[in-house]
A and B are shown apart, each in its own frame.
Chain A
């Protein structure tokens, strides 16, 4: 039972990170801490994707030098066929692909997701900077207090 637990420990780390992040987002009243929680939450998803891309026994999805030379002259269709048959053999083209590679696709997806995360964080932090300049605080409670009269009057100035 314990070994099963260890075999899935990546997922357990994912769950712990995910819950930690979400908890921090909802529980803390400090705007920066919330963003930190959001980042942890997003990072857990990166780990999830990387975990599912791992093929047991597979090596990093970088073509070995010799194979890279073989691939240099190939059309995209052949490459797709090779990718599908990776591990078996793309016999029709005479290339032996004995090596098992891990799935590269989730890595690419996560590269995009990381960039999205960076953009979100940058926007979030710049919003906090602006809020701090306008309200003089980054504590949600104090912002709400400062806006309370504002809300009652409901005017812009």
Chain B
């Protein structure tokens, strides 16, 4: 069967893992340079959205089910908020990471890691959620009308 999009499909198959990997790089490089959860989350979401654009929304929903999206949004917020609750339990102020480890600077490090992870999860899932929400609407124009 002749597939007009074969070039796109092959190249994006190469690209998507690299985009996801780059997202993780941005995430963890946030300690030393520009980066962090916001940017990484958007990049990670972009890989899923690219997949949806090339292979269709249904395929994307199989690869990244909408139920993950809903739960992911909650888990991300809980990771962020939970870090603060842990610092409460350890006797510090809310989000005072210094109490997370024996040495204050290590605590700051762990704390920001946990928080950024929460941001990553939330931003990724929210971006995908927005895409799914708009993409799943019944289109009013047919594919051939374009």
Contacts and interface: CB of A to CB of B under 8 A. Distances in A.
A62 B134 contact: no
Interface stretch (B9-17, B32-40, B69-77, B80-88): B32-40
A125 B134 contact: yes
Contacts of B33: 62
Contact of B104 (A62, A68, A76, A122): A76
Contacts of B34: 62
A74 B105 contact: yes
Contacts of A129: 134, 137
- Size range of the chain B interface in the assembly: 10 to 19
B130 A122 contact: yes
Contacts of A134: none
Contact of B108 (A76, A111, A125, A126): A76
B7 interface: no
Contacts, number: 22
A130 to B, nearest CB: 10
B105 A126 contact: no
A109 to B, nearest CB: 13
- Size range of the chain A interface in the assembly: 10 to 19
A132 to B, nearest CB: 9
A68 B105 contact: no
A94 interface: no
Interface SS of chain B: helix
B6 interface: no
A70 B52 CA distance: 45
Given A62-B34, A68-B32, A111-B38, A76 B130 contact: no
A72 interface: yes
A92 interface: no
A73 B101 CA distance: 13
A68 B137 CA distance: 49
A23 to B, nearest CB: 27
B133 interface: yes
B27 interface: no
Contacts of A122: 130
Interface string B98-109: 100001110010
A68 to B, nearest CB: 6
Contacts of B137: 129
A75 B105 CA distance: 6
A129 B32 CA distance: 42
Interface of A: 62, 65, 68, 72-76, 111, 115, 122, 125-126, 129
Question: Nearest 3 CB-CB pairs, A to B?
Answer: A75-B104, A122-B130, A73-B105
